[in-house]
Structure 1
Amino acid sequence: MNVRDLYASIKGVQHLLETERDTQSYLSEPLRRRLWLWRRGFLTRSGVLYGLEESNYREYVTDSQRFVRTKRINGPWSIALSNKLAFHWLLHPFDDHRMSVYGMLHNGSFHAIDSLRPPRAIGDGGTSRSRSRSKPSVTSAIGPSGTRSVEMGRSGPSHNPDETDRNGPDWVVDRLEDERRLVLKWVQGGGGNNVLLCSRVDGGYRVNGDRLSEPAFRSRLADLEDYLVCEFVEQGWFPSELYPETPNTIRIVTMYDDAAGEPFVGAAIQRMGTADSEPMDNFSQGGLTAEIDVETGELGPGAQLPYDGDLEWYATHPDTGTRIEGAQIPGWSRIRDRILEFAETYSYIPYIGWDVVVTGEDGEFTVLEGNSYPGLKSIQVHGPLLTDDRVRRFYERHGVC
């Protein structure tokens, strides 16, 4: 084991222990039960989620395998997924499926990354948006305060000194006057942490639902270091109907089959926000997750993480009443096939958890993030991964199980 893998393993064990410590406050399992789970590599929470017994626990990827061993699968390429800016650059060949990353807040300044792209055209039903950049071009857009944006052709960005090194809070405030909503992400964050949904509202601003005055908002921005300033991607009618107050993303896990020389989808789930999880759709924060039939795009029932008691299942959304079980993701086959095309292009990165948001009715989508060792509790709550022979072989080949 090299130094990088050793460090990743130590950090993984640390994360595992911290997660178990954090879950003890709301899962009152007997100590004997906990000891049984720990000896087999599972957190207490997983015992509740999966209904683990002696007869079935070997069919699940354990928490210790996920936290420690899956981190090693992508080797040095894991950096390209854990760093959001590196991932954005990696996806440049698939620009139509990238969100705009306008720049980064660093040392109090705004450092431009992408051009300020023209607004996306409103699609069918007023919910989907698409942009056409089929021809190489250099654009120059006037910013919200009369400044000229970064110029960018198909080969990449070229930074305009009028835009780069502007005061960071000034740039964000000015841009919100035009776009009304932006997403700020810490370049190294994961799991939905360190993501700020910022919006301009009457008399001030909102950050993840908290209302702030302009001075308070500027102060919050001034404290941010290495945060990417991204466009807010409007979701289409399907995810919006599930729960309109949060982005509702799809997680698609691709695995590369070395023997067959092709990628495949190991698992896929639809995530849905709730009143408990706002402003995000994270399962660990009270959101729902529903299994996606990889062949048809049909959803199973929604599951919600229990804070005490038993796992909750929903055929309809508990807040909106929208049907979950049996609902069909529009354009699913096109989404799946396009993601597999991405995975084929990056075959040297064999294990990727793609977070995408559906933006239209015919397979339009935007990739929000990539994950090098995606969380599995929101997936395996719907059933064990290792009952799929192809998935088991993948994990065995990479030393996970």
Structure 2
Amino acid sequence: MNQVRKLLRTERRTGSSFDLPARRRLWRFHAFDPAADPTPLTDGGIELEHRTGSETMRPTEEPIDWLDDALSDGDRLVLKWFSGGGGNNVHFLERVDGEYRFDGELTSESDLVETLAGLENYLVCEFIEQADYADELFPDTANTLRVLTMYDERAGEAFIPIAIHRIGTGDSVPVDNFSNGGLSAEIDPETGALSAGAEYPHDGVVDWHESHPETGARIEGTAIPGWEQTRDRLLEIAETLSHVPYVGWDLVVTDDGEFQIIEANSYPGVASLQVHRPLLADGRTRRFYRDHGVI
């Protein structure tokens, strides 16, 4: 029994109602064995894995030494702070013709060493190349999808109350975040077609853009290639991870029906979502928030 407790995390499911008698409550088990080999959870463009140990960097190794070995010419890395939001504290590092560029600016190795020394609690990950349609919308940022999932205990399934496509602008570079000046277009849940892009109402008025104000690329009506496969695969992931019932997923679409997850937010902001419509207007969404003590 002790071994079972080590290997399994239990999650209480309440079947058709949160207030079912204890004898009728259902339980769901999730594998949780840190000593096991990594287990892929999705083939939707990226594998969700749990790894143990360090495979990349020794505790005594200097960051610049690791970069010299890991960053090939023409490669880019993204450095993102563990905390915070809104696209703040995100940096981009690339190597071009044997020289480093930090946030697009040429930097000497000694200056880079000093810069890296001032960074603490940062996640370093590969730069993801977005699909052509997203690059055409605005090429100077990764234009990401924010898909909100909720796990419906009554139905025993995950659902998507709303999803948006964020699109960068000159004001938001190097990120696409709504609060930094990026645009937010709602995604049709069935077709993957985009609405017009909303601009953050800094002056209290929402401006809408049928086409990108800088590139001229059409936003309204543009369809995400392979949206149905992306949507269904993400719902499958959300159901596999149903012990985390509320997630704001950030995705980069890389090809038709293919994507990579760059972030999963446990407390996603709603400004970029509710600029399109109030979440509480939907009964299922309202019930989720009520059942979890949010409202």
TM norm structure 1: 0.60
Q: Tell whether 2:264 aligns with 1:370.
A: yes
Structure number with the bigger relative contact order (C-alpha 8 A, sep ≥ 6) is 1
What's the offset of the Cα at 1:333? 0.4
Unmatched runs of 5 consecutive residues or more in structure 2: 1-33
Moved more, 168-177 or 289-298: 168-177
Report the AA paired with residue 288 of structure 1.
L
Structure number having the greater strand percentage: 2
Does the CA-based 8 Å contact 1:99-1:368 persist in structure 2? no
Please state if 1:390 is matched with 2:284: yes
Aligned-pair CA distance for 1:224: 1.5
RMSD: 2.6
Structure 1 window deviating more from structure 2 (91-100 vs 230-239): it is 91-100
Distance 2:90 2:288 in 1: 32
* Selected match of 1:305 from 191, 200, 224: 200
In 2, Cα distance between equivalents of 1:277 and 1:323: 19
Q: Which blocks of at least 5 consecutive residues in structure 1 are unaligned? A: 1-85, 101-153
* Cα distance in 2 between the residues matched to 1:162 and 1:227: 14
1:248 equivalent in alignment to 2:143? yes
> CA contact under 8 A between 2:251 and 2:259: conserved in structure 1?
yes
**Deviation of 1:164 (Å):** 5.6
Supply the distance in 2 between the matched residues of 1:156 and 1:95 (Cα, whole angstroms): 17
Q: Counterparts of 1:54-73 in structure 2 under 5 Å?
A: none
Pairing partner for 2:42 from 69, 72, 94: 94
Is the CA contact (8 Å cut-off) linking 1:277 and 1:285 kept in structure 2? yes
- Relative to structure 1, the CA distance from residue 96 to residue 292 in structure 2 (aligned partners, 3 Å threshold; closer, same or farther) is closer
Q: 1:283 to 1:91 in 2, by over 3 A?
A: farther
Report the counterpart of residue 26 of structure 2 in structure 1. Answer: none
Q: 1:173: how far off? A: 3.9
TM-score for both structures, normalised by structure 2: 0.80
1:224 correspondence with 2:119: yes
Match of 2:251 among 350, 356, 366: 356
Are the structure 2 counterparts of residues 90 and 338 from structure 1 closer, same or farther at C-alpha, using a change threshold of 3 Å? farther
Secondary structure in 2 aligned to 1:240? helix
Corresponding residue number in structure 1 for 2:186: 291
Superposition deviation, residue 218 in structure 1 = 1.9
Post-superposition offset of 1:236: 1.0
Q: 4+ residue runs of structure 1 moved beyond 6 angstroms?
A: none
CA displacement at 1:158 relative to structure 2: 5.6
Deviation for aligned residue 1:186: 2.1
Residue aligning to 1:260: 155
312-321 or 179-188, larger mean C-alpha shift: 179-188
- 1 CA distance for matches of 2:290 and 2:39? 28
